[in-house]
Structure 1
Amino acid sequence: MVDRFRVTLAQLNPVVGDLSGNAAKAREAWKMGRDAGADLVALSEMFITGYNAQDLVLKPAFHQAAMAEIQHLAKECADGPALAIGGPWAEDGKLFNAYFILKGGTITSKVLKHHLPNETVFDEMRIFDVGPLGGPYSVAGVRIGSPICEDSWHEDVAETLEETGAEFLLIPNGSPYYRDKYDVRLNHMVSRVIETGLPLIYLNMVGGQDDQVFDGATFGLNPGGELAFRMPVFDEMIQHVDLERGDAGWRIVPHDIVAQPDAWEQDYRVIVQALSDYMAKTGFTKVLLGLSGGVDSALVAAIAVDALGAENVRCVMLPSEYTSTESLEDGEAVAKALGVRYDYVPISESRTAVTNTLAPLFEGLDPGLTEENIQSRLRGLLLMALSNKFGEMLLTTGNKSEVAVGYATIYGDMNGGYNPIKDLYKTRVFETCRWRNANHRSWMKGPAGEVIHPNVIDKAPSAELRDDQKDSDSLPDYPELDALLEILVDQDGSIADCVAAGFRRETAKRVENLLYISEYKRFQSAPGARLTSRAFWLDRRYPIANRWRDPG
């Protein structure tokens, strides 16, 4: 009887669509496991395709190519440990989210996902068919159960595996980050361990894909729910984990339990990782952004430098007559502190030309929001021209508060290919700037120390599109606005909930109306890093044409 079993866990960052590249990563992990005497080398859910590949998986040519890659991988990894890897499987007119066990040159077992998530960022019910409740597979004489991701959040799959002879659970995941999600995962997995009495390994992937970031933190639990090991968040890592059989059954041999950073650090790491991987996986190497002297663009500049290095970031100041000397000085101070290229491109001549061109049509009409937005759109035009000319992706800098209520100009300051702070409310922007000034980590490519001058953080926010303009002229103060949006967006609450929380009904109704009428802007906005379970894009999908308002 086998008394010791070694699993090599590959917490890696696949690239959606890069079948051969993902297979190469799997081979390297398998070789490391082979050299370490592993019985099984395990990779995460849908690893061969990358995750979340969405409707791309439905394309027959794609999922057939992925299946062929799996079969080729089996042949290449014939002589050594078994290899477990996720990917699509099509048969009898159905398509499954599968986990393959490769051994001796063939696919020896397939696990088909039973519970398909159909919420937040996941639409698996429209992509995959439901797999049956199945039993364990055998590797080196040990029977292993592998609920795939969502299957482990339901008790029936794990209990069926235990009842049919599984000796431990190995759970492959593609579980993206949202704030404090690790605790949610851990609680579910402790429940599975207590229900089954089996040790459990939760294997997660890392890396950014569009708006989502997979945070790793692979861990193991022994019977009773005791944490046996935990791998780092966000970092690619291959780790060998041993299980030993004793009189009471199998247990994971304790290994390092890597400390978890706090939520502020994890959020910032997600934003940096999201941008870094979005750039790498779409083929861009350099970015530019408009640096206004305000807090949002300063934070995005710091994020860009931490993700890509100062040599790959261009900041551009585009002043008008309404741009204060204070803003000019603050913008330049941020650029110098970060060590980035800083270009100065006034918009006054362009604005005069547009004003003169439109004068015959606008004759007799008072200037107002239209003229303010012309400034923003001129800046967007000039930044896009620089982007086109130099091949630098334009970053947009609207925070979640502005994105929610439409306090941004479409085809103006909303121009850009990616928005790092799209899921960060304004009040968290301020605190994130303070956190970054006080903290530096090895994964940051930017300098340590105060990179965002305190005046940038402390001064009253302003779009500076007219004399003496303040954001508070158009919106509730940000602490109040963000608290209302937390209820209306993140909690999916009602006007009555806002009133119960102490806010004026009229203010809540106004914010709700702004939220709904801005849907068309969000529909056309750039993607950005997902930090919460109610981020704007896949988490929250509302109609653009919508007359309903909460009567409460």
Structure 2
Amino acid sequence: MRIALAQINPTVGDFAGNLALISGYVERAAAQAAELVIFPELATCGYPPADLLEKESFVAQAEATLVAVAELTRGEGRPAILCGSPMRCENVRGKHVRNVAALLADGAVHAVQQKMLLPFYDVFDEQRYFEPGHEQSLSVVKGHAVAVTVCEDAWNDKMFWPRQLYPVDPVEELMRQWAVLPQPLSGHRLILNISASPYWHDKIAVRQKMLGALAKRHRATIVMVNQVGANDSLVFDGSSLVVGPDGEVLAQAKSFAEDLLIVDTTAPDKLLVPPSQDEVALTWQALVLGTRDYLRKCGFKKAIVGLSGGIDSALVAAIAVEALGAENVQGVGMPSEFSSSGSVSDAEKLAANLGIAFSIVPIREIYTRFTGALEPFFEGTAFGLAEENLQPRIRGSLLMALSNKTGALVLTTGNKSEMACGYCTLYGDMVGALAVIADVYKTEVYALSRYVNREREIIPEDTLTKPPSAELRPGQKDTDSLPPYDVLDPILRAYVEEYASAEEIVEAQGVDLALVRRVIRLVEISEYKRQQAAPVLKVSRKSFGMGRRFPIAARR
């Protein structure tokens, strides 16, 4: 069968825009003689819709959109469509919404496959909203039998995963039904999967291996179409796949871009697979797409970045320029009496290399007025954290004032290492609309910055080589408060992402127990800061935000 994988970037709740997007891809697929066009999970409303699903009007709009999509199949020679959408449940018990793959043909809904396995881990909370399906059945498209699955329904293969999360395997059940199909329907096995599978490190490779093992086990061709684009913290990579019965990838759509991939399941020798990319390049693309879509889908075009001359703000500015264009990015330097001359010149050089507007707003006089006003309260005390944090809070106020005046969004510049340890200032360097690199460890910041400079120097070499410093007091360095990042980051990754204990980290990494316990203590006492942070673009297996839920008031 000639199938079109329509890898689209929907916006949550934009039913008219999503319908127009779907319609355009159907016409493109029809022009290339596709018999079936497949769209991602919840394509009519965008994923994840979250509590919007609690509104009956929202679900009704999604159903009306699905009816309009079905109209696109009306007429001789028109392709059938497989499209994801929420639909109301007919049953009177349980949840009132179901997550379905709807098979559309001849202007009508011909079949509906309800998602059975509703993920409830990390960023997923589908059991909160959807009623699970309780049975599976094969469908027929253009005279071909197909097994339709929705995302997680294909992720419970007992031969691949060491531990199954669910007691049933929908694919296994569908293949049992296939075994008793009459001829000629029982010929070539074809599994269709519509997904909204977000990106994180190694996810593309894991998805390929998992689907390859599933295809090989059931001697089937698997066609998986995945959503692309970013919605809030989640970035979807696309990378839609066609996998042959031998487990080999026959075709793959682009990563981090919309695409229309046409495949003929009877002619795999004509298909192409794009070259693989390393994780640094994929992370860069994810952060760029996440930044671009966050602003675009929230109705903004411009961004402001506070440039300190440090590597974190330099990387965020480079991401913003790639995402929005240099003409839409404003850099602001706000030196204090503790800022080095090199930091100012590095920020100026970065702005020139990126081609962005750059302004300097000194804060020394403002800081003097603040400390003067507080002198009656601070008198007799040593210079300390209160005086240090005044500086980023002044900067945060200035950035937000510029944001209010210009309509540009402030991008925060803190990394994951700082966020984990609380090495950041509430209402200071944490102010902003989007935490672009707050899921990127400091060591990864350096790798990404080198990637930015792969063709020419954009981030100044001095920025890459000087010791990192917040420059809030004379001679300050990050290592005054934190272990070196090449020691810190592996500890954080083990504790934050793998939930390893202090003793397990010591055994695995050979580091000092007292040091590990100090790092863990920093992570634990900083939870209140993270829960007040801007949304974090997720690129790791476990990011700060909705996928990591810990109480603030707790003894651990």
Match of 2:165 in 1: none
1:227 aligns with 2:249: yes
RMSD: 1.3
Q: Would you say the 8 A contact 1:231–1:256 is kept in 2?
A: no
Instruction: Give the CA deviation at 1:88.
Output: 0.5
Q: Would you say the 8 A contact 1:27–1:77 is kept in 2?
A: no
Aligned residues: 529
SS of residue paired to 2:100? strand
1:88 aligns with 2:113: no
Q: Would you say the 8 A contact 1:241–1:253 is kept in 2?
A: no
1:17 aligns with 2:17: no
1:177 aligns with 2:193: no
Mapping of 1:148-547 within 5 angstroms? 148-155=150-157, 156-165=169-178, 167-244=189-266, 252=268, 254-439=270-455, 449-500=456-507, 501-547=509-555
Match of 1:129 in 2: 131
Instruction: Give the CA deviation at 1:363.
Output: 2.4
Q: Would you say the 8 A contact 2:53–2:97 is kept in 1?
A: no
Q: Would you say the 8 A contact 1:296–1:397 is kept in 2?
A: yes
Match of 1:57 in 2: 53
1:239-286 superposed Cα distances (whole Å, 9 cap, x missing partner): 221122xxxxxx745411111211110000100110001111001100
1:185-236 superposed Cα distances (whole Å, 9 cap, x missing partner): 1222122212221111111121111111111111111112122111221121
Distance in 2, Cα, partners of 1:50 & 1:457: 39
Distance in 2, Cα, partners of 1:253 & 1:105: 34
SS of residue paired to 1:158? helix
1:110 aligns with 2:103: no
Residue identity opposite 2:381 in structure 1: L
Instruction: Give the CA deviation at 1:62.
Output: 0.6
* TM-score, with length taken from structure 2: 0.93
Instruction: Give the CA deviation at 1:528.
Output: 2.3
SS of residue paired to 2:412? coil
Residue identity opposite 1:153 in structure 2: W
Residue identity opposite 2:175 in structure 1: E
Match of 1:442 in 2: none
Residue identity opposite 2:242 in structure 1: G
Q: More deviation in 486-495 or 265-274?
A: 486-495
Instruction: Give the CA deviation at 1:431.
Output: 1.6
Residue identity opposite 1:471 in structure 2: D
Instruction: Give the CA deviation at 1:164.
Output: 1.9
Q: Would you say the 8 A contact 1:120–1:539 is kept in 2?
A: yes
Q: Would you say the 8 A contact 2:137–2:147 is kept in 1?
A: yes
Distance in 2, Cα, partners of 1:58 & 1:39: 35
1:447-466 superposed Cα distances (whole Å, 9 cap, x missing partner): xx210011101101111111
Instruction: Give the CA deviation at 1:471.
Output: 0.7
Q: Would you say the 8 A contact 1:8–1:42 is kept in 2?
A: yes
Match of 2:39 in 1: 43
Instruction: Give the CA deviation at 1:354.
Output: 1.1
Instruction: Give the CA deviation at 1:152.
Output: 0.4
Question: Structure 1 runs of 4+ off > 3 angstroms?
Answer: 251-254
Match of 2:183 in 1: none
Instruction: Give the CA deviation at 1:361.
Output: 2.3
Match of 2:181 in 1: none
Instruction: Give the CA deviation at 1:60.
Output: 1.4
Gaps of 5+ in 1: 245-250, 440-448
Gaps of 5+ in 2: 158-168, 179-185
SS of residue paired to 1:410? coil
Residue identity opposite 2:201 in structure 1: R
1:348-388 superposed Cα distances (whole Å, 9 cap, x missing partner): 12111111211122222222110111111000001100110
Distance in 2, Cα, partners of 1:299 & 1:489: 23
Mapping of 1:23-34 within 5 angstroms? 23-34=19-30
Q: Would you say the 8 A contact 1:401–1:485 is kept in 2?
A: yes
Match of 1:443 in 2: none
Match of 1:445 in 2: none
Distance in 2, Cα, partners of 1:122 & 1:374: 38
Match of 1:119 in 2: 121
Residue identity opposite 2:9 in structure 1: N
Q: Would you say the 8 A contact 2:502–2:517 is kept in 1?
A: yes
**Percentage identity across aligned positions?**
40
Instruction: Give the CA deviation at 1:322.
Output: 0.4
Q: Would you say the 8 A contact 2:41–2:84 is kept in 1?
A: yes
Q: Would you say the 8 A contact 2:291–2:320 is kept in 1?
A: yes
SS of residue paired to 1:147? strand
Distance in 2, Cα, partners of 1:277 & 1:120: 22
Distance in 1, Cα, partners of 2:70 & 2:411: 42
Distance in 1, Cα, partners of 2:192 & 2:415: 39
SS of residue paired to 1:164? helix
Q: More deviation in 263-272 or 146-155?
A: 146-155
Residue identity opposite 1:108 in structure 2: H
Q: Would you say the 8 A contact 1:221–1:229 is kept in 2?
A: yes
Distance in 2, Cα, partners of 1:435 & 1:41: 37
Q: Would you say the 8 A contact 1:285–1:392 is kept in 2?
A: yes
Q: Would you say the 8 A contact 2:253–2:260 is kept in 1?
A: no
Q: Would you say the 8 A contact 2:334–2:361 is kept in 1?
A: yes
Q: Would you say the 8 A contact 1:203–1:219 is kept in 2?
A: yes
Distance in 2, Cα, partners of 1:47 & 1:6: 21
Q: Would you say the 8 A contact 1:233–1:260 is kept in 2?
A: no
Distance in 2, Cα, partners of 1:195 & 1:471: 52
Distance in 2, Cα, partners of 1:433 & 1:29: 36
Distance in 2, Cα, partners of 1:76 & 1:328: 57
Distance in 2, Cα, partners of 1:232 & 1:289: 30
Instruction: Give the CA deviation at 1:111.
Output: 0.6
Residue identity opposite 2:523 in structure 1: L
1:72 aligns with 2:68: yes
Residue identity opposite 1:27 in structure 2: S
Instruction: Give the CA deviation at 1:347.
Output: 0.6
